[in-house]
């Protein structure tokens, strides 16, 4: 049995979120939460929140033991990009891309 949690429109670059996501792929849920709590990255708290949601979703399904869950798959995809301008010298302006991410976590019983 699987449980899924999706977190969309995270205001962080997918490249930065994938650094932390790669740490917990394939691990037990308890170990993954422990690793995320000691990871000094801003995306660790966002992934932890999505992982806790996946655990809660699994707890709602009958016949699933929450203690035996593992992170089967975690994917970080790019969301829409907000385009902003920053004023520069001599009346110019440069474009700034504010990227967003979509996080999808699948947990299953081991």
**pLDDT single digits (tens) 14-52:** 999 999 999 999 999 999 999 999 999 999 999 999 999
The confidence score (pLDDT) of residue 58 equals 93
Please state the pTM of the whole predicted model.
Answer: 0.91
List the chain domain ranges. Answer: 2-109
Helix (H) or strand (E) holding 85: strand 82-87
Q: Is the pLDDT of residue 71 over 90?
A: yes
Question: What confidence category does residue 62 fall into, taking pLDDT thresholds of 50, 70 and 90?
Answer: confident
Q: What is the dihedral of CA 15, 22, 32, 110, to 10 degrees?
A: 140
CATH number of 2-109, picked from 3.30.420.40, 3.30.470.20, 3.90.470.10, 3.40.630.10:
3.90.470.10
Phi and psi at residue 52, in whole multiples of 5°? Answer: -65, -35
pLDDT tier for residue 64 given thresholds of 50, 70 and 90: confident
DSSP letter assigned to residue 24: H
Q: What is the DSSP letter of 28?
A: B
What is the pLDDT, as a whole number, of residue 79? 98
Give the tokens for residue 69: 């869950």
Residue 99, Cβ density class (10 Å: 0-12 exposed, 13-18 middle, ≥19 buried): middle
Per-residue pLDDT at 90: 97
Check residue 42 and give its pLDDT.
96
- 62 or 76: whose pLDDT is higher? 76
CA 106/CA 72 separation, integer angstroms = 6
């Amino acid at each position: 049995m699987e449980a899924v949690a999706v977190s969309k429109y995270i205001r962080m670059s997918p490249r930065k979120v994938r650094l932390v996501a790669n740490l917990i792929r394939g691990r037990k849920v308890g170990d993954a939460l422990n690793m995320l709590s000691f990871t000094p990255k801003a995306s660790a708290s966002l992934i932890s929140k999505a992982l806790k949601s996946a655990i809660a979703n699994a707890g709602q399904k009958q016949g699933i033991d929450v203690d035996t869950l593992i992170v089967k798959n975690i994917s970080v995809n790019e969301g829409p990009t907000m385009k902003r301008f920053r004023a520069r010298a001599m009346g110019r302006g440069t474009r700034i891309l504010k990227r967003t991410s979509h996080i999808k976590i699948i947990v299953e019983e081991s």
